[in-house]
Amino acid sequence: MKLIVGLGNPGAKYARNRHNVGFLAVDAIGAAHGFGPWRAKFQGQVAEGRLGAEKALLLKPETYMNLSGDSVQAAVGFYKLAAADVIVLHDELDLAPGKVRVKAGGGAAGHNGIRSIAAHLGPEFVRVRIGIGHPGDKRVVSNHVLNDFAKADADWLDPLLAAIARGAPDLAAGETARFSGGLSPAAPRPRPAPAAAAPRAAPAAEAQAEPERSPLQRLIDRFR
């Protein structure tokens, strides 16, 4: 069984925040794969279903971001899972918007939700880092992550969430390279070059009218 955790903050006012892209991602996975209804458990919201051959539990901790590990640990302890069975989807400042990287283990890179989970489980869980971009100034990072995605972001965000949902069975199966490859936009197919127009046939030369012959010439022709 896989525990797939989306990180975010609970409540309608946070729903479209950049910091809540993990919630958005697991919502998309649940909808795409027919998971059961969300219900309260493990200090969060959970939904059960299958991703390919894997049984999976989706979890959205409702402890607020900084205490995400409390909710995750409750689910891990109940199902007796290893850290390697846990996949966490979260926002990543250090990746450009729409970029996604998957890795197992490593540091928290300043992400309080990841830090909280690592404090409970150790570092060896899988992270799906979803880029939201850096505002360029450390002083406005908090406003950046806790503000909603811009309307224009839907152009890349909606297709990305759909691609994450499509690839979730590969992610659950440990096929991270296949999962990551499926997130790349399909290369545009080159348009076939227009067929060269067949050369137009040169107009047939008009037959030249035979000049009228004189009576004497016609008489000579009769005796040739």
- d(C-alpha 38, C-alpha 142), whole Å: 29
Catalytic choice (19, 33, 90, 111): 19
**Rg over CA atoms, the chain:** 33
19 catalytic? Reply is yes
Helix (H, G, I), strand (E, B) or coil at 101: strand
Q: Give the chain's count of helices (H) and strands (E).
A: 7, 7
Taking alpha carbons only, the member of 117, 151, 149 closest to residue 133 is: 149
Nearest to 182 by CA among 105, 104, 100, 103: 100
Residues with a known catalytic role: 19
